[in-house]
């Protein structure tokens, strides 16, 4: 299914080719969860530079918070009535927090389906995977929500500041035992992952030592969170001795500090980590693999990663200029990278829902039915191998880092049939709650996706374009037209007449004729291996 690893030999020079519908779709599929036909037309109309600018412009308006849908007569969240948010109400009850975590996942699916036309949610996921945490280990719903809000609030901002914010975030302090890290019992968990997974990495010139892990742990002693889930620095638990690092860090010594000044050691530690070129290259490599392709050969390392890292450093570790340079480049817009990624479960499911413009109940005014249906999407994603906000470990999902398979790990004998079963179900019966149904409407979709759905050739071209990132051959398209839309006949008017009649005289019989053929066609396209690619 995945192509043999190869890289484009084009560099980061600004793209000079024609801005096309195909390239528009490519950019939107990588920076958002799916793209509607109207989104593609809109962004194609404003051009590449304006599109990148809009995608990288994040509004200050955050999605409204999750609402309680779980209170019953026997299990009651005293801090949150049904239909109100719990995010500002602390609670230590295990059952309540289990309900809050499940509620957060339902809410998250609603946010993804209704995302703004920008990169916020794709980057929020990127950061949550980069700084991997597991909801079940964090335990507290408020911590989980606040942890992810760090990423959602400023997803293309300053990487260095983000690392600091995450380091002293109560959710991370709890997840990697930072709150247990004291001068008498240093805990190395976060000091290790800070270097290995969050900043320096393990590739290229990363040569930090085990002693560097221990020294970092000592720098980080004293950070805790209080009963209100607010981080603070406890000087009585802080190691006030000097911390000397290895030759990889030029034998840097961070002088031990007493009292409140001990908190400043964290800033010195981050200054040291970010002075290494490996840090900038490491995060640029991860961004490249996330947005472009997992294969990084010498050409990509020297001509893409290194210049992007230079841009990052020159801009004081602001992420937005790096993404702008990448998305506007000849390299990103090379046809080599169109359809080379296997969709992860969230990309697959949310992209499906958004492409077909599936209408859910309003998640604010009709939260109970909406959350019920969104929870079915959580169940689907989990079954396909991606339980939202619950990666298998601190490294995140293996598909984003595990060489040599990378995204090929998403597809196996278990998950591929589940994907096909999901799309088949959504076109045949859908899901219903209290009379509200989420299901594909083939005729409406044909109207939305095609410029002329009465013409079978145009319709097939348009449906293939919106559903598939790769091209089907003319012979396959002709076969689909003849066998499905024309029901085995040879003349195009067999479809045109049926379509026009369903519009002018929408009787049950006339609608069923068109619906049946469209459902068969859409099923066929979505069961193709090509549908798994973006």
Joined tokens for residue 339: 């359809």
pLDDT of 395 reads 97
C-alpha 357/C-alpha 448 separation (Å) is 9
Taking residue 335's Cβ as centre, other Cβ atoms within 10 Å add up to 12
Return d(Cα 33, Cα 511) in angstroms, integer.
Answer: 31
Do strands 231-233 and 243-244 pair parallel, antiparallel, or not at all (unpaired)?
unpaired
Q: Give dist(CA 431, CA 437) in Å, integer.
A: 6
Q: How far is CA 402 from CA 128, 207, 398, 412, in A?
A: 17, 20, 5, 15
Tell me the C-alpha distance between 353 and 250, whole Å.
52
Whether the CA torsion 474, 475, 476, 482 is positive or negative: it is positive
Distance CA 462, CA 360 (A): 25
Distances (CA, A) of 444 to 32, 57, 204, 440: 23, 31, 51, 8
Per DSSP, the chain holds a count of helices (H) and strands (E) of 24, 6
| Rounded CA separation 494/474 (Å) | 20
Torsion of CA 270, 272, 276, 278, to 10 degrees: -40
Tell me whether strands 436-438 and 431-433 are parallel, antiparallel or unpaired: antiparallel
Cβ atoms of 223 and 179 closer than 8 Å: yes
**Residue 168 DSSP class:** T
3-class state of residue 221 by DSSP? coil
Q: How far apart are CA 322 and CA 155, in angstroms?
A: 13
- Cα 528 to Cα 268: distance, rounded to the nearest angstrom: 53
> In this structure, what DSSP letter does residue 15 have?
P
Q: Return the closest-CA partner of residue 354 out of 438, 431, 234, 281.
A: 438
The Cα 482–Cα 521 span in angstroms is 11
**Are the C-beta atoms of 294 and 285 separated by less than 8 Å?**
no
List strand residue ranges (DSSP E) for 104-252, in order: 223-225, 231-233, 243-244
- Given this model, what pLDDT does residue 5 score? 82
225 beta partners: 231
Averages of pLDDT over runs of 10 residues in the chain (534 residues) are 75 98 98 96 98 97 97 95 97 97 98 98 98 98 98 97 98 98 98 98 91 98 97 98 98 98 98 98 98 98 98 98 99 97 98 98 98 98 98 97 96 98 98 98 98 98 97 97 97 98 98 98 98 98
CB half-sphere exposure, 505, CA atoms < 13 A: 6
481, 455 Cβ separation under 8 angstroms: no
The pLDDT of residue 1 is 43
Distance set, CA 464 to CA 86, 425, 459 (Å): 43, 20, 8
Using the structure block, give the residue that is written with the tokens 């002018």: 504
CA–CA gap between residue 203 and residue 502 (Å, rounded): 60
Show the tokens assigned to 440: 């594909």
Interatomic CA distance for residues 103 and 96, integer angstroms: 10
The C-alpha atoms of residue 323 and residue 469 are separated, in whole angstroms, by: 22
- Return the SS3 of 471: coil
The alpha-carbon radius of gyration of the chain (Å, integer) is 25
Residue-by-residue DSSP string for 295-352: ---HHHIIIIIHHHHHHHHHTTTBHHHHHHHHHTBTTTTSGGGTT-SBPPHHHHHHHH
- Per-residue b or e along 353-372, where b marks 16 or more CB atoms closer than 10 Å to that residue's CB: bbbbbbebbebeeebebbbb
Under a CB-based contact definition with an 8 Å cutoff, are residues 118 and 102 in contact?
Answer: no
Q: How far apart are the first and last CA of the chain?
A: 12
Residue 524 CB coordination number (10 Å): 13
Choose among 411, 428, 343, 421: nearest CA to 380: 421
Task: Return the closest-CA partner of residue 229 out of 100, 88, 127, 94.
Answer: 88
């Amino acid at each position: 299914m995945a192509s043999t690893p190869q890289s484009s030999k084009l560099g980061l020079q600004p793209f000079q080719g024609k801005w096309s519908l195909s390239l528009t779709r490519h950019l939107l599929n990588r920076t958002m969860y799916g793209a509607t036909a109207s989104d593609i037309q809109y962004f194609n109309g404003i051009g590449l530079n304006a599109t990148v600018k809009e995608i990288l412009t994040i509004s200050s308006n955050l999605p409204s918070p999750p609402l309680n849908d779980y209170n019953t007569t026997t299990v009651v969240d005293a801090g949150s009535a049904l239909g109100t948010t719990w995010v500002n109400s602390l609670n230590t009850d295990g059952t309540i927090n289990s309900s809050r975590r499940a509620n957060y996942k339902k809410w998250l699916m609603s946010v993804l389906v209704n995302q703004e036309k920008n990169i916020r949610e794709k980057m929020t996921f990127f950061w949550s995977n980069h700084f991997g945490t597991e909801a079940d280990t964090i335990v507290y719903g408020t911590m989980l929500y606040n942890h992810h809000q760090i990423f959602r609030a400023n997803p293309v901002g300053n990487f260095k500041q983000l690392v600091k914010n995450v380091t002293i975030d109560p959710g991370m302090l709890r997840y990697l035992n930072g709150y247990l890290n004291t001068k008498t019992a240093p805990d190395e968990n976060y000091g290790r992952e800070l270097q290995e997974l969050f900043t320096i990495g393990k590739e290229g010139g990363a040569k930090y030592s085990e002693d560097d892990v221990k020294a970092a742990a000592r720098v980080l002693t004293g950070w805790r969170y209080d009963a209100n889930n607010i981080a603070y620095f406890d000087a009585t638990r802080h190691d006030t001795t000097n911390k000397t690092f290895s030759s990889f860090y030029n034998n840097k010594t961070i002088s031990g500090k007493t009292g409140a000044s001990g908190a400043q050691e964290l800033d010195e530690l981050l200054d040291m980590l970010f002075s290494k070129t490996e840090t900038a290259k490491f995060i640029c490599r991860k961004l490249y693999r996330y947005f472009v392709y997992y294969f990084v050969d010498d050409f990509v390392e020297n001509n893409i990663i290194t210049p992007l890292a230079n841009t990052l450093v020159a801009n004081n570790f602001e992420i937005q200029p790096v993404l702008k340079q990448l998305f506007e480049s000849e390299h990103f817009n090379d046809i080599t990278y169109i359809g080379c990624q296997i969709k992860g479960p969230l990309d697959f499911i949310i992209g499906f829902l958004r492409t077909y413009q599936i209408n859910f109940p309003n998640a604010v005014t009709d939260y109970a039915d909406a959350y019920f249906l969104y929870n079915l999407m959580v169940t689907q994603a989990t079954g396909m191998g991606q339980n939202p906000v619950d990666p298998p470990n601190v490294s995140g999902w293996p598909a984003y880092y595990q060489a040599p398979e990378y995204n090929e790990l998403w597809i196996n004998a278990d998950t591929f049939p589940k994907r096909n079963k999901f799309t088949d179900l959504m076109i045949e019966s859908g899901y219903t709650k209290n009379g509200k149904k989420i299901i594909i409407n083939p005729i409406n979709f044909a109207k939305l996706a095609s410029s002329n759905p009465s013409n079978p050739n145009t319709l097939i071209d348009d449906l293939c374009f919106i559903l598939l990132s790769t091209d089907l051959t003319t012979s396959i398209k002709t076969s689909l037209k003849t066998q499905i839309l024309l029901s085995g006949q040879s003349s195009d008017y067999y479809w045109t007449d049926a379509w026009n009649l369903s519009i002018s005289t929408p009787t049950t019989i006339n609608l069923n004729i068109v619906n049946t053929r469209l459902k068969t066609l859409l099923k066929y396209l979505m069961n193709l291996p090509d549908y798994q690619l973006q």
